[in-house]
Chain A
Amino acid sequence: MIHRIQIQNFKSLRDVTVGLSPVTVFIGKSGTGKTNFANAIRFLRDCLAVGPQRAMQQNPSYRCATNSAEPVSFDVEFSVPDFIERFEYFLELDAEHAVNTPRIEWLKYGDRTIFRQIGFTKTGQGQGFHGASHWEAEPALAPLPQPGELALGRLPGIEAAMIAYTALTSAIGIYSFPYDVLRSGQPKQSEQRQTGLSDHGDNALDVAEGINRDLQRVAVRKSIAAALRKINDTIISVEIDPRKPVEAMVGHRLGEKALGLKLSQESDGFRRFYVHLLALYQLPSKQTMVFEEPENGIYPGALSLLADEFKATPDAGRGQVLLTTHSPALLDHFSADHIRVVELADLETQIGTLAEEQRESLRGELLRAGELLTADPARRQEP
C-alpha cells in the first residue's frame, strides 16, 4: 500500500504530496489534474518496468511529462504485507532528455538505506551533462553492479529491492476501462506475458480464466458471481472454455436449468461492472489499484455495490484502491476520510484533504458526500 507520494514536475503536478488511505477517492472539477495524478503513478511504474526511454516511446503522452526544465521526481512511501518496516523509494529523472540514467535514485527500508545512486547532473543550459553515475550508498551485493541505469529491479539477491520493485511495477494497476471492454468476448491471445489485469482490461478474460482455474480459491469466483447476482439475480457465473478460446459465456439460472448467454451480448454496463470485479479479485492481487471514473456506463443502482466492493478490497487483503469520480451517487458511499480534493491554481494541481468545515458537515450528516460535487463543491483544507 502506498502511504504517501510526492510528485514533482509531472505535467500540472508541480509539487504535490498526497497522503493515501486504503481507499482514497479523488474529486475535483474536470481539468484539475486527477488524471495527471493517475498518469504520474503509471509513469513511475512504466519507467521502472521498461526504463524511462521505452516508457516514453510506448506512451507519447509522457513526452511532455514535464512542463518545465526541472526534473521529474517521485518520492513514494509504501508498505508490503509481512514486511514490518515501510519502504521509501526516491527517483529523480531528467524527463526532458528521456535518459535511462536517473539523476538520483535511492531506496530505504525503515531507516536502512538499501542503495543510493547519483547520476548525471545537468550543469547549465547548453553545457550538457557532466559527471558519472556513482553509488553514494552501495547495495550489499557482490559483485557490485555498475551504477547507471535504474537500480531498482536489477539487484537480485537483495530481497528488499526486489520486493520494492514488484510493489511499484506489476503490483500496480491503473485502470481506465473503455466502454467496449470485453465486447469481443474472447480471451486475448497476448504474445506478451502480462502480470494481472492490464490497464485497459484487454486481457480481462485471461484474468477471469485464471480465477476460474484456481481451485484453491473457489471462493473468489463465487464472490464475483455473488456480486454479479446483485445486479442480475439470475446469474450463476461467467465461464470460459479453457480448451479453446471461444466466447465467454454468462450462465443464467432458468428454472432448474442453466442458460448460457454470450458475454459480448451483455450490456456495456454489465461488462464494465464485471471487469471492475475482475480487477478487484484478480489473482495474484495488486497492491495498489487506481480506477478512473469507474461509474461511467454503470447502472446507477449498481454503484452502491461497486462502492462496497471498493471498500471491502483492502480489508480482504486484495490491495489498496484509489479512484477518481464525478458521480455523486458513487461518492455518497464514502466518508470524509476517504476523500482528497484536487484543485487547480495558477495551472498547478493541488491535492489535499477536505476542508475541515466540510468534514464536520459530513460527520454531522448535514451534508451527503455526493453533495460535494453538487450543492457545496469540495474545497481543499488550506495547509
Chain B
Amino acid sequence: MSPKRLVLMVEGQGDVEAAPTLVKRLLAEHSFFDAVSLDPHPIRVGEYSKISKNGFAEWKRFLRVAAMRRNLGGCVLLLDGDSKTKVKGQPFCAMRAAQRLAAEAMTVGAGAQFSVAIVFACMEFESWLIAGVPSLVNQPFTDGRKEISELPSRIPDNPEQIPRDAKGWFRRVMRTGYSATRDQAELTRLVDLNAIRAHPSMRSFQRMESAIKEVVDAIREGSHAVTPLPQKSG
C-alpha cells in the first residue's frame, strides 16, 4: 500500500512552514512514513473565529478542498487555542471547539472518506517552543543567526497558560525580535522535542502527538479516524 497523503491545515503564515517542519519530525521519530506522506502544501485556513462563522461553512469548504487532493489519508487541523470566540455561547474552550469542528467535519466526509484530527495549541504554537527554549540557546539558524544567546531569566512555568502572548515573549527574548513568518520554522527545526515532552504542562503538545498517531493507526488499518470524537448530543 502506498503511503496516504496527510494534509495540514494551519492558522497563520508562520505555521505554513513551521507546522510541516514539526509534523515531519514527529512522523520521522515515530517511523510513520510507511503509512503517510506529508503533503508539503498546508492549507492556511485562518483562525477559529473565521472557520466557525456561518455554520462552519469555511471549515467545511477547506475540508472539501483538501479532499480534492489525490490519495488523501487524513487532515490535521492545527490552530492556536488563544481564540476569544465563544463556543455554543460559552467562553472559548479548546476541547469543545475541537469536538464541534470534528462534528462538522463528519458532515463532509471525515470518518467515512478520510481521517481528521483537530488540535489546538495552548495557547499558541510558540507556547510549545517556549517549553523547549533551553534547547534553543546558542543554536544557529540556517542563516547563521544565534537569536537566543543565553537562557532567558524568566521562563514561564506553564507556557500553556502564561504568557498569553507567546509570540510577544519571543519578540522580547530574541536578539533581533521575532517574526513568525521568518523565525517560527527555524525554531521548530531546532527545538528539542523531548524537552517539550518532558515539560510537565505540555498537554496540548501531547495531544498533537496522540492525534497524529490516531490518524496514522487508522490509515494503517484501512479505516478513518475522527479525533477528538464529537460530543454526543443530549
Chain A residue numbers with a CB within 8 Å of B62 are: 375
Are B68 and A361 in touch, CB under 8 angstroms?
yes
Binary per-residue interface labels of chain A (341-383) against chain B in the complex, 1 for a CB within 8 Å, 0 otherwise: 0000000000000000110110010110000001111010000
Whether B77 is near chain A, meaning CB under 8 Å from some CB there, is no
- Of the stretches B39-47, B88-96, B149-157, B208-216, the one at the interface is B39-47
Are A374 and B41 in touch, CB under 8 angstroms?
no
A361 to B70, CA, bound (A): 12
Whether B64 is near chain A, meaning CB under 8 Å from some CB there, is yes
Chain B residue numbers with a CB within 8 Å of A377 are: 41
Nearest CB in chain B: distance from A342 CB, A: 16
Are A366 and B41 in touch, CB under 8 angstroms?
no
Which partner residue on chain A sits nearest B72 by CB separation?
A: A357
A370 to B45, CA, bound (A): 13
| The one of B44, B45, B65 that contacts A366, using a Cβ cutoff of 8 Å | B65
Which partner residue on chain A sits nearest B68 by CB separation?
A: A357
Are B70 and A376 in touch, CB under 8 angstroms?
no
Which partner residue on chain A sits nearest B63 by CB separation?
A: A366
Question: Which residue among A358, A360, A361 has the maximum number of chain B CB atoms within 10 Å of its CB?
Answer: A361
Are A360 and B41 in touch, CB under 8 angstroms?
no
Chain A residue numbers with a CB within 8 Å of B65 are: 361, 366-367, 376
Which partner residue on chain A sits nearest B44 by CB separation?
A: A375
Question: Which residue among A360, A374, A375, A377 has the maximum number of chain B CB atoms within 10 Å of its CB?
Answer: A375
Chain B residue numbers with a CB within 8 Å of A361 are: 64-65, 68
Are B45 and A360 in touch, CB under 8 angstroms?
no
Are B70 and A357 in touch, CB under 8 angstroms?
yes
Binary per-residue interface labels of chain B (42-72) against chain A in the complex, 1 for a CB within 8 Å, 0 otherwise: 0111100000000000000110110011100
Chain B residue numbers with a CB within 8 Å of A379 are: 41
A116 to B203, CA, bound (A): 73
Which partner residue on chain A sits nearest B61 by CB separation?
A: A366
A367 to B44, CA, bound (A): 12
A377 to B70, CA, bound (A): 17
A374 to B41, CA, bound (A): 12
| The one of A360, A374, A375 that contacts B68, using a Cβ cutoff of 8 Å | A360
A residues contacting B by CB (< 8 A) are 357-358, 360-361, 364, 366-367, 374-377, 379
Report 28 cross-chain contacts, Cβ distance below 8 Å, ordered by A residue. A357-B68, A357-B69, A357-B70, A358-B68, A360-B68, A361-B64, A361-B65, A361-B68, A364-B64, A364-B68, A366-B61, A366-B64, A366-B65, A366-B68, A367-B61, A367-B65, A374-B44, A375-B43, A375-B44, A375-B45, A375-B46, A375-B62, A376-B41, A376-B43, A376-B44, A376-B65, A377-B41, A379-B41
B residues contacting A by CB (< 8 A) are 41, 43-46, 61-62, 64-65, 68-70
Q: Given contact pairs A357-B70, A364-B68, A376-B44, enumerate 20 new A-B contacts (beta carbons under 8 Å).
A: A357-B69, A358-B68, A360-B68, A361-B65, A361-B68, A364-B64, A366-B61, A366-B64, A366-B65, A367-B61, A367-B65, A375-B43, A375-B44, A375-B45, A375-B46, A375-B62, A376-B41, A376-B43, A377-B41, A379-B41
